[in-house]
Structures are given as structure tokens and as C-alpha cells.
Amino acid sequence: MSRIAKKSRPVKLDDKQSERDHRELRIDKVGVRGLKFPIQVHDKARSVQNTVATIGMFVDLPKEFKGTHMSRFVEVLNAHGNVIHVENISQILHELQAKLNSATSHLEIEFPYFMSKTSPVSKRESLMDYVARFDAAACGQDIDFVLTVKANVTTLCPCSKAIAKYGAHNQRGEVTVAVRSKAVVWIEDVVGMIESSASSELYALLKRQDEKAVTERAYENPVFVEDLVRNVALKLNADRRVGWYKVEAENFESIHNHNAYACIEKGRGK
């Protein structure tokens, strides 16, 4: 005698996130952070490079809701494939607002970015890595977007050069530039501003003749950390695309057990 299997009823799962919260406290940002995701980024040559981003996605949470639905953040991200650039960031933000019924949304994307560089004398090519970051937020239909670029450089101390008989102390410095712009500012543009403002730029590959050239270039172009941020700021002031910027420089001192730091922040009209 055959048995006819009964059709099982779907199990009802409690939606705890949608329950009422009685503490009457709105949350400004809630979501996921530290999500690793492969992406393609457009570069200035109108091509793309593959990289891996660390992503954060957030929305606001009204005071009456207990929690948000974390899986929906990943759903929105995956719906766009692996191409993320300025052009589709606003779409992602608005989809987060719609899918999570929120007034605001936030997206942070940080990734290594590679540029080909040629050594100054031997003309050997190698890849240099930089850190780039997109921070974007939507409030209603309004979008705020900030590009941040980090690049390492060489700085040589003007004071040390002036007082020492046999040379001058030098060190690696890290420069961080964040910009809001009216038109596209490419990562390569910001890297160029940073590297041309230091005692010398860095290279992944240097032969002996290159090392001599880079060392002598730094010695002939000493800069304090203060000089470094001012040099970058002058270039940003001259770029009409830039509406706001923040320049930070930190020198990892070679003769001190502490670092030197300087910062300039400015918006148009200030």
C-alpha cells in the first residue's frame, strides 16, 4: 500500500528586526563592515583593473524598529556584479534606501590600486601600490562623495641638511588626500600631486644608478612635513574641479621615536 506524502507547510520564522523597540533612540548608521569583495575599478586610461575591496554599507534605523536586515546589504551589492565606480555608486545608495526603507545610506569602499612606474635612470618598469577609498552618502536624493588617496613618499629634513656635515636624515612619509569635486578627479591625478610635492617619489624597482638618482634628488629637495602638506594644498587650490580637500602627512621619523604630522583642510571660498 503506497503512502502519499503530505505537503509540508512552510515554517513561519519570526522577524525580530521588525519588532517595535521602546527605547526611542534612532540609530544614525547600522549595517555591515569589513566585507571583502572583488571589484573592477576604472583607471584614467579608460581601462579597468581587478582588485579586492573592503566594503562597508550602512543605513539609518528609525527609533521604532529593533534592527535592520543585514542580508539585504549583501543582496544589493551582489546585484551590481563586480564593477564599482563613481557612475553606479549613487544607484547602489538609492537601492539601499529603498530596500531597507531608510532615509539615508552610506557606502565605504577601500582597495589597493596599482600604477606602473618607470625608474628614473634604468627605465625599468614596476608596479607601485597605493590605497584608494570611496566614501559616499545619500540623504534623500542628495549624494555626497569623497575620494581619498594614500601614497608614500620620501622626505629629507631641511634642518638636518643645514647643520650636519655628512648628510641629512630622511624617512618615508605617508600622505593622505581627501577631496570633494565638481568633476571627476582621477586617482592618478591625486597621486601625481602627492609625489611631486615630496623630496622624492618611491619606486618598487630601483637599480644602483636609480638609487643614486633618487637619493640625490631627495637631498637637493628637502621638505619638512609642513612643506609637504603646503605643496599638495597649493596644487589642490589650483585645480578648479576640487571644492573641498583635506591633506594629511605623517613622517615616520628615522632619528626620533615618534612621528611628525601636519594637516590642512579647506573648502572653496574659505
Q: pLDDT, tens digit, for every residue of 109-130?
A: 999 999 999 999 999 999 999 9
The C-alpha cell at 113 is 590600486
CATH number, residue 152: 3.10.270.10
Model pLDDT, residue 70:
87
Asked whether the predicted pLDDT for residue 72 surpasses 70, the reply is yes
Q: What is the pLDDT of residue 15?
A: 55
Domain interval for residue 143 = 26-267
Report the chain's mean pLDDT, rounded to a whole number.
90
Who contacts 136 (Cβ-Cβ below 8 Å, separation ≥6)?
89, 90, 93, 106, 107, 108, 143, 144, 145, 146
Lowest mean pLDDT among 163-167, 244-248, 257-261: 163-167
On whether the CB atoms of residues 132 and 95 are closer than 8 A, the answer is no
CA distances from 165 to 44, 155, 168, 169, 206 (A): 45, 19, 8, 12, 27
Residue 156 has pLDDT above 70, yes or no: yes
Q: Which amino acid is at 63?
A: K
Average pLDDT over residues 91-103: 92
Q: Is 127 part of a structural domain of the chain?
A: yes
Domain presence at residue 174: yes
220 within domain boundaries: yes
Instruction: Decide if 1 is inside a domain.
Output: no
Here the cell at position 115 is 600604477
Q: Is residue 141 part of a domain?
A: yes
Q: Does 154 map to a domain? A: yes
Report if residue 148 sits inside a domain: yes
Asked whether residue 122 is assigned to any structural domain, the reply reads yes
Structural domains in the chain (count): 1
On the question of pLDDT at 239 being above 80, the answer is yes
Whole-structure pTM value: 0.88
Query: What are the Cα distances from residue 261, in Å, to 87, 90, 135, 232, 255?
Result: 34, 34, 23, 14, 15
